[in-house]
Every structure is written in C-alpha cells, then in structure tokens.
Amino acid sequence: MVSFLIPFHTRFDKLRLSRRIMAWGIPEKLAFTPKSILHYESGYLAIGVDGELQKIDSDGKLVGKPVKPFPTPIRSAVIIDDMLVATWLDQELMLARMAAIDLGKNFTEGVSRGELRVRRSIDKSIHPSGNEWSHVLDAEPISVSANSTSFSFVLWKKGVYNLGVNSIENWRSPEPSWPKLTKVPRAEETVSTTCDDETYEIWSKGGGVIRYDVNNGNIIEQEILPIDGYLNQVYKHEDNYLILYNNSTVALLKGGNVELNAQLSGPISYAEWDTEKEGWYIAGWRELIFISTKEQNRIQLQEIAVFVDAKTGLYLCNNGVWDIMDTKKS
C-alpha cells in the first residue's frame, strides 16, 4: 500500500489529454448553483442545490429554462432509462417525497414552498409537478442507488427497499446493523450506497458494509473494514472502490485490499471510473484529480468542482460555469 499527497499540475499529461476530444461544444453557464450532474441517453441532467432541474441535450445546448417541480432540495437522484427517480427533503417542515419524472417530457414548475406549510395532511399532500408517480415518505431517505432495472434506498429507522421504476416493490429488508459497531457513536449510520446488476451495498460511517443480492434482497455478506477514522463516501465500478474518509483521505480498494491512500484538499462532489486508464477522475474541493495505482495528477481550480466527465474532460464548477481541461497546452 502506498500513501502520498497528490502533486499539483497546471494540466494533465499529454497522453491523457490527447484522447479527450469533445463531441460537441461546452454548454452555456447554468442560471443556478449546481449540486450534481447525471448522465442519460439524451445528454446530461443538471440538478441545483435548491431542487432546480435543467436538461442539456446531446449537442451541449440547454433545453428550456431551469424548473423546480417541488419547492425543496433534492436529496438523492438516479436515472433508469429516461426516468428520473428522486427524493425531495425539507428538514424544517419534516416532509419528504419520492417521485419519478419522465425525462422525455417537459418539466413543469411546482408550487411555492409556502403552500407546503398549509397542506400538511396526507390526503392533501402536494407532490412534485409532472410526476409519473409520487409517494409521501414517513422517514428521511438516506440514499438512492440504481442499476439498469431497479433502484434501492434506505429509510431512516425503517429499513431497506428495492423498487422497480414503476414504483412496484420488489423486496424489503430490516435496517442494516453491525453489532460490533453499536457502542461506537453514529458508527452504524448509512453514509453511502452502491448498486450494480448483481449487488446492492450499504456502507456505514464506522466502516461497516452489507452486500445484498439486488434481485431478491438476500444478504450475501457483511463485514467491517479495519479503518482509522470514519467513512464519508464510497464510489464503485465493478470490483474497484474509491473510499473517502472524514479527514479527506481517499483509498483505492480492490479485492478487499487497500492498494493506495492519498490526501485530497477536501470533500468529493463526484467521481467517475475511467476503464481505459483504470483509475478515478474526481471533482473535488477546488481541484480536479486523476488517481490510479500507476498515475496521480491534480489541477487546482478557483471554484469547487461539481462534476467531471472522464470521456471528454468536460467539467462543471459550482458557479455554474462549464469548461474542458486544456488539450492544446504542451
């Protein structure tokens, strides 16, 4: 195992940049502060910190104007085919929604937040505008992850659920627990989930992980990683893991073994695996990073990176401005 501080560079190496060719132009600046970006068949979907939605088509053009289907922030969001499944949460009003919105249709504006205050009973509940289906949640949704056919999520103090994109429940399981972590404060809290076509994984703050068969909910295995500190985020591609700790240290995990540790400047907004280079591109705290067991590079930014596309080099910062890592500098 290797541990190090990734050095700063003004650009990534020429080999990496030579294959990052844009298929279309850089999108226009977003009119809101972005929280995250999701890929889908027709382009990108931008999600704002206050629940805004904005489509970006395959030519890099903004589609319509930003819309807020529901007047609260979006907690988690995934896309299955062309269907957005998201959770909306307002902690002050103690309300939450889960709904699906068809990305093939135009977004429609929802009600103002003030209307939520006076429509509190279940029978008069307000739902995200333009939804294909919507549910009132009676607990806080912690995380949503999806594969090509279903999505899974954790409800605080309720349990684990797997649903089809049509909202039909496939299975449910009790809330995850790790007996050896019960005496450690907050160690059993869910901090991240990952999902593919075979397994659904729940990761806890204290390093606990439970792996489910995503097709039936049976527990495949359960373990606690021998970590020094707390987990904050976990990203997965096949058997490759990128794990972020609370002290901004990341670890590359494969086959149950930590292959490399590195110190970042702060939290991660997004990470994406590059199959060709066998490493992770990271949108971080005023930095863009590539990290693998063979190569580590870092570009310093003035703003906080929200998203980076491993195939194109396109990235987005929290000021709403898109750019692409320079392919012309030598």
Could you read off the pLDDT of 174-189 as tens digits, one per residue?
999 999 999 999 999 9
Task: Please give the Cα distance from 106 to 44 (Å, whole number).
Answer: 15
- Are 43 and 307 in contact by the 8 Å Cβ rule? The answer is no
pLDDT number for residue 219: 97
Amino acid 121: pLDDT: 60
d(CA 330, CA 253): 33
Instruction: Provide the token pair at 145.
Output: 């992850």
Q: Alpha helix (H) ranges present in the chain?
A: 14-18, 113-118
Predicted local confidence at residue 14, as pLDDT: 36
What's the token pair of residue 73?
């922030």
pLDDT of 6: 59
pLDDT at residue 17, as a whole number:
38
SS3 state at 180:
helix
Give 175's Cβ-side CA count (13 Å radius). 13
pLDDT of residue 125: 87
Helix (H/G/I), strand (E/B), else coil: 16:
helix
Q: How far apart are CA 153 and CA 163, in angstroms?
A: 9
What predicted TM-score, i.e. pTM, was given to this entire model?
0.90
State both tokens at 94: 């103690």
Rounded to whole angstroms, the Cα distance separating 284 from 305 reads 5
Q: Give the closest residue to 66 by CA, choosing from 39, 29, 95, 112.
A: 29
Cβ(320)–Cβ(305) below 8 Å: no
pLDDT at 330: 30
Pairing relationship of beta strands 231-237 and 150-155 according to DSSP bridges: unpaired
SS percent in the chain: helix, strand, coil, step 5: 5, 50, 45
φ and ψ at residue 171, rounded to 5 degrees: -165, 165
In tens, the pLDDT along 265-313 reads 999 999 999 999 999 999 999 999 999 999 999 999 999 999 999 988 8
CA 306 to chain centre: 11
- What backbone torsions phi and psi does residue 255 show, to the nearest 5 degrees? 60, 30
Sketch out the chain's domains with CATH numbers: 2-324 (2.130.10.10)
* 3-class DSSP state of 116: helix
Residue 84 CA to residue 2 CA, distance in Å, equals 39
Extract the tokens encoding 54. Answer: 């904005």
Secondary structure of 262-327 in the HEC alphabet? Answer: EECCCCEEEEEEECCCCEEEEEECCEEEEECCCCEEEEECCCCEEEECCCCCEEEECCCCEEECCC
Q: How far apart are CA 155 and CA 73, in angstroms?
A: 17
Question: In which residue ranges of the chain is pLDDT below 70?
Answer: 1-24, 119-123, 326-330
Beta pairing, strands 279-284 & 268-274: antiparallel
